[in-house]
Structure 1
Amino acid sequence: MIYQQFQRSPMQTRISGPRAWLAMAISLSLICLSLFLLPFVLLFGAITLGCLVLFSRVYMARQIAKLNQAQANAHQHDHTTEEPHSHVYNSVNIVRESNAKETHRMRQQGRTFEHKEDEH
């Protein structure tokens, strides 16, 4: 009596009947359909990505051209409104050290500050 449960496979009673066959047919058809449509989905994704890249390149080129034009107009406007003896203070012309050539050389090489013994 104990061995009767081991004579039949427990999967036979679980997966049997018309509902099981219908579920298996539906799952197999969905798998085949997804495998059939996968190349088309990948192709559509590749075309969409290519269009997005081309659009972004064109868009960024236009934005950079607008930015460069605005900077050129601002730079030209600064030079036309500037008096010959006035000083334009921007990051290039501000010099805090007494020697401008030394400052330019230090700007290219980096700065090192040494401690002087008479200063505290």
Structure 2
Amino acid sequence: MTYVISQPCVDLKDKACVDVCPVDCIYEGPRKMYINPDECVDCGACEPICPVEAIFYEDDLPDEWTGYLSAEREVFVTTGASGGASGAGSMAQDHPIVEGEPVKAG
């Protein structure tokens, strides 16, 4: 089991979650932050700090955002990012689910 960053994070990327993650498993994409499910230790530190309530425990993810669970897993297969987010830099590409979201005005 793991935590998932869902749709409300798209085009926001507040990054407060990054600051509280004790295992450095939250990576930055062009439009959204991603939790590496292989590195997440399910501590839950990121969930209450998210200002837009975009982070959910896998089993609690709302039905309308279930695609974000597969996006979190698949993005790491295609990018190969692992070993700690702080040394990885920003991902070059978001998952297609994120790319398909309308751009939020900022």
Shorter-chain TM-score range: under 0.3
Q: Which has the higher helix share?
A: 1
How does the TM-score come out when normalised to structure 2? 0.18
Q: Which has the higher strand share?
A: 2
Q: Which has the larger radius of gyration?
A: 1
How does the TM-score come out when normalised to structure 1? 0.16
